[in-house]
Amino acid sequence: METLLVLLNIVLISALIFVLIRMQQKHVSFSKRVFTGLGLGVLLGVYLQTVFGADSAVTSQTTDWYNIAGRGYVRLLMMIVIPLIMVSIIQSIINLEKTSELGRISLWIIGILVGTTAIAALVGIGSSFVFDLNASEIEAGQAESDRGIYLEETLTEVQDLSTPEKILEFIPANPFLDMTGDRATSTIAVVIFSAIIGIAVLGVRRKQPEHAETFINIVNAFYAVVMRIVTLVLRLTPIGILGLMATTVAQTNIAGILELGKFVLASYAALAVMFIIHLVLISVFGLNPFTYLKKVLPVLTFAFTSRSSAGTIPLNISAQKNSLGVDEGVANMSASFGATIGQNGCAGIYPAMLAVMIAPSVGIDPLSPGFLVQLVLIVAISSFGVAGVGGGATFAALIVLSSMNLPVALAGLLISVEPLIDMGRTALNVNGSMTSGTLTSRVLKKLNTERFNDKEAVEKDIAV
């Protein structure tokens, strides 16, 4: 009987996928197809949750099959991340008039990412106080206790790396190994390796122009092929979101969310405020925040459902370049750096909220000015260093809590709502990287404002 029910559920998602394919064949816009996939995924997940239950064998087996559409799509995106970063950054540097522009672009992007993360920490602190969050009010079950033990064990790994060692992790010793994604810093290492190649080509162009021309032609050919692969994969976005959302909703722990509802509400309130701050920054730099919002929503929708900043890189770059008019080099670097450095949600809001929640449990007054200043500074600095150890929000929390001499095990109390909160955090992380790219391009006068203001320029190349 279980097998029959699973087969029926597979037929159901297949029918919904067919609907999305028909929408593409009828040239329905990319954004509409993305949100249709999202809506259908939610309904499908609610159906599985209501009829079979989150922990049933039918739901488990069904979501295993649904993951072919959801997680399979994320794998395809991860497949093209490294080739896309490499050829795009090499080509972008080749097109630079001066190599000094590369340094200016990097400084602006990293400065905006880390600066907004410090602001995000303040927002997280404020939300914790407004909702009166306190870790001592949360009951710990077996799962929470096990998670706490795991975090304490993981802390040892984090503490073994000093800040200079974390910085050294950015430098590629074996670029071919980094191309496999072997290390937490592989993405940044590939960016650095690609930048070195681009700079080397500029030097060769001055002394041996014929060799440089040959290499540039090869890069341009690779770039054309890679971008075609990107286009083909991104067309599957609505189907990927359908599978991801159906699986997420079907497996959501409703009881855990109700028990920790105040923390979930406080988290999303902080995420919403920080998102508004991003839009204010867009406005301050003379751009229409509503136009920006319309163009980034499909990207944020995927980031929300996939919970993968790295997996969102191809869609992030494509949207910045084709929809927002961001300079190609800036788009590549902001998307790449933003996936590991200065994550507003994971490295800003989350660890700051945890620190304020946990402080009273060890007799520390979280309202103390000294505590708050120290917390914001540590969050800002660690948001850069988190890339040296990897692991997103968990490692960011470990670094901040241990630096503040707070017990890391208490962070395990939130295990039941982690997936739900992580969806919002990832969307904010990605929006932070897109904001940094847009603002950097604007400051350096590389933004195509005509394309930015063109309301129809929303992923035209993958809408059909």
List the CATH number of the domain containing 249. 1.10.3860.10
At residue 72, the pLDDT reads 92
Query: What is the pLDDT at residue 41?
Result: 92
Radius of gyration of the chain, Cα coordinates, nearest whole angstrom? 22
- Domain region containing 291: 2-462
Q: How many domains does the structure of the chain reveal?
A: 1
The reported pLDDT for the residue numbered 74 is 87
pLDDT mean values, one per 10 residues, the chain (464 residues): 90 94 89 90 92 88 93 89 86 74 88 94 94 69 51 54 69 86 77 88 88 90 89 90 90 70 89 97 96 93 86 90 90 86 88 88 85 90 59 72 76 69 91 96 93 75 47
Q: What values do phi and psi take at 134, rounded to 5?
A: -150, 125
Nearest to 267 by CA among 135, 124, 401: 124
Residue 243: predicted pLDDT? 92
pLDDT value of position 451: 92
CA gap 462, 237 in Å, rounded: 10
Give the pLDDT score at 142: 47
pLDDT at res. 121 = 94
| Residue 319, pLDDT score | 92
Specify the pTM: 0.82
CB count within 10 Å of CB 12 equals: 16
